[in-house]
Structure 1
Amino acid sequence: MNLILKLLGTGASILSGIVAAKVIDFIWTKATGNEPPKDAEGSLENSLRSAVVFAVVSGAVSSVIRVLTNRGTQRAIQRYQKTPEIV
């Protein structure tokens, strides 16, 4: 059962990461009026400042999501180990 909970935690982390990326892109577009600076090839239209800010915000959000999903998975595993017959 621990393996199933870990797989569900990994799936939740991936899904929440995808959703968060879409939300960050949407908020960035609405706040700045420009597309997020993601293109690594040949696009010099984006300033270094906007690229760095976008990278910092994206990294911070992904770190928070990873920590929260790991904690949720660990909590679920501990709950299951205490009462496996109820779950």
Structure 2
Amino acid sequence: YFHNVLTNLGSFTRGTSEWLTEAFLKTTAGDPVALLHILDTFVDTPRDALDHITTPTLILTGEDDDDNGSAQDLAAALPDARYQAIPGN
């Protein structure tokens, strides 16, 4: 999602989630090239590795924040996690 936004700046229809993400990026003066480099450092965690995370974990997200996948699904995948939503995104 974020890679798409950062590599297609200026191409999104007003009001779409991508357009809103781009608008937010502008308010932070984020450097798209630097942010792409950060995204390239992310690694996927294999599903079975989640079973070994036994630390109690709070999955906290805005109730309208869905551009990073399902926080509820993540909480359900961890052995000792609790999901909590707060207003907004």
The TM-score with structure 2 as length reference comes to: 0.21
Return the structure number with greater relative CO, CA threshold 8 A, min gap 6.
1
More strand by share: 2
TM-score by length of 1: 0.22
